[in-house]
Amino acid sequence: MERTLLIIKPGAVQRGLIGQIITRLENRGLKLVAMKMAQLDKDILKVHYAHLVEKPFYPTLEASMMAAPVILTAWEGVQAVSVVREMAGATEGKKAVPGTLRGDFCMSHQENVVHTSDSLETAEKELARFFKPEDFFDYPSPLLYYLYSTDEL
Ligand code: TYD
Residue % of the chain over a pLDDT of 70 = 100
The whole-angstrom separation of Cα 105 and Cα 135 is 28
Q: Which pLDDT band holds residue 131 (cuts at 50, 70, 90)?
A: very high
Q: What is the position in ligand 1's atom list of the atom closest to the CA of 60?
A: 19
* CA gap 14, 70 in Å, rounded: 9
Q: Phi first, then psi: give them for residue 83, nearest 5 degrees.
A: -65, -45
pLDDT score of 148: 98
**Confidence at residue 46, expressed as pLDDT on a 0 to 100 scale:** 98
Residue 51: predicted pLDDT: 97
The predicted-structure confidence for 79-103, as pLDDT tens digits, reads as follows: 999 999 999 999 999 999 999 999 9
Task: Read off the amino acid at residue 74.
Answer: A
Confidence of residue 12 (pLDDT cuts 50, 70, 90): very high
The pLDDT tens digits of the residues spanning 138-151 come to: 999 999 999 999 99
Measure the CA–CA gap between 65 and 49, rounded to whole angstroms. Answer: 11
Ligand 1 centre distance from Cα of residue 29 (Å): 27
Q: Verify whether ligand 1 is closer than 6 Å to residue 61 (CB atom).
A: yes
**Pocket-testing residue among 49, 61, 105, ligand 1, by greatest number of atoms within 8 A of Cβ:** 61
The CB of 110 under 6 Å from ligand 1? The reply is: yes
Closest CA to 81 of 126, 118, 129: 118
Tell me phi and psi for residue 101, to 5 degrees.
Answer: -60, -45
Ligand 1 within 6 A of CB of 118: yes
CA distance 22 to 89: 15
pLDDT in tens, 31-57: 999 999 999 999 999 999 999 999 999
Read off the pLDDT of each residue in 63-68 and give the average, rounded to a whole number.
Answer: 98
**Mean residue pLDDT across the chain:** 98
DSSP 100: B
Residue with the nearest Cα to atom 16 of ligand 1?
Answer: 110
Contact between 68 and 13 under an 8 Å Cβ cutoff? The reply is yes
Question: What is the C-alpha separation between 122 and 106, in angstroms, rounded?
Answer: 24
Pairing mode, if any, of strands 114-116 and 2-8? antiparallel
